Amino acid sequence: MNILEIKNLKTQFHVLDGVAHAVNNVSLSMKKGEVLGVVGESGSGKSVTALSLMGLVRPPGKIVSGEILFDGTDLRTLSEKQMREIRGDRISMIFQEPMTSLNPLLKIRDQISEMVMRHNNISKKDSYDYCVEMLSKVQIPYPEKRAKEYPHQLSGGMRQRVMIAMALSCNPEILIADEPTTALDVTIQAQVIDLMLKLKEEYDTGIIMITHDLGVIAEIARKVVVMYAGQVVETGDVYDIFDHPGHPYTKALLDSVPRLGKRSRAERKRLREIKGIVPDLFELRSHCNFYERCSEADEDCKHMIPDLIQYENGRSVRCIKFQGCNA
């Protein structure tokens, strides 16, 4: 049974230049305890989808239509007060930049204990003790000392661990991680990913991992959603998609990843690139959003808006070229 189902979600930003269709008819789902990877370039709608799920889209942004079903309840029907009871408790989020997400004027223990006391009936002293326990679980050295420090006194990796500790402090059913390893060096990235997987096993928490790093997705996720220009263009098992990508955009993303091993001198000269740029989100097109950048496009693609077609093996692909194939 799915713990989360997003159906036909549309989120728009109404500004002076017009209407930006940041999330355009997005549907996805995840089971309890599952790790779902969401990948795509900047501007593909990944973060706005997560903010929509959390009820954190603010003017000029607006959820125009769609359903966000969490454990059978449409979150769009809840009041702001009801959503505050869910945020941080049943659904938590690790934001992209921990330095700007943490309050620079509050000590670490005060920031974690505030969330714990809000959703649990415990004293401030007990919440401080629990804060130290959580910092220890995310492998921060000298947790008693770090709990009394301010965010600027911690390294980038430690601040990210604090964000993970805060997000997991109320044992959420879903953890949304928005680019949690982007600002970290490779060694710390590996430690953070390993930590998240261990905590997932301990708490049976489902994880939505939002990233542009396909290597992270390959390591942590079992199911992957590929987004482009505010739409889902492909979904399925991560191994199936990585071995046999269906959408030309997915193929292009995989081709642009550096690879080790024996390759010709010509192949080693430079990485393959996806030519062109993401289309203007202020414009609704009468053809595939990837048409101008696609090496496989033909005249049919120019005059047709492809649907996201689901196949028997769980794969979904938004491409007219793929519809006649055995997925």
pLDDT of residue 327: 40
Report the number of distinct structural domains present in the chain.
1
Question: What residues have CB less than 8 Å from 231, skipping those under 6 apart?
Answer: 24, 25, 26, 45, 289, 308, 318
In a domain, 323, yes or no: no
pLDDT of residue 325: 46
In a domain, 116, yes or no: yes
What domain range includes position 157? 101-169
Nearest-angstrom CA–CA distance, 293 and 174: 35
In a domain, 156, yes or no: yes
CA nearest 219: which of 35, 4, 31, 32? 35
In a domain, 139, yes or no: yes
Q: Give the percent of the chain with pLDDT over 70.
A: 93
E strand spans, the chain: 2-15, 18-31, 35-39, 61-70, 73-74, 91-94, 174-178, 206-211, 223-228, 231-237, 309-310, 316-317
What is the per-residue pLDDT across 4-19, written as a single tens digit (0 to 9) for each? 999 999 999 999 999 9
In a domain, 106, yes or no: yes
Question: What residues have CB less than 8 Å from 96, skipping those under 6 apart?
Answer: 47, 178, 179, 180, 182
pLDDT of residue 263: 58
In a domain, 161, yes or no: yes
What is the per-residue pLDDT across 179-215, written as a single tens digit (0 to 9) for each? 887 767 778 778 878 888 887 888 889 999 999 888 8
DSSP state of 121: -
In a domain, 255, yes or no: no
Element (H, E) at 243: helix 238-243
Q: Which residue has the tokens 């491409």?
A: 319
Q: What residue ranges of the chain have pLDDT lower than 70?
A: 98-99, 183, 259-271, 323-327
Nearest-angstrom CA–CA distance, 82 and 97: 27
pLDDT of residue 324: 45
Instruction: Retrieve residue 298's tokens.
Output: 């033909």
Q: What φ, ψ does residue 219 adopt, rounded to 5°?
A: -85, -35
In a domain, 182, yes or no: no
pLDDT of residue 193: 84
What is the per-residue pLDDT across 30-42, written as a single tens digit (0 to 9) for each? 999 999 999 999 8
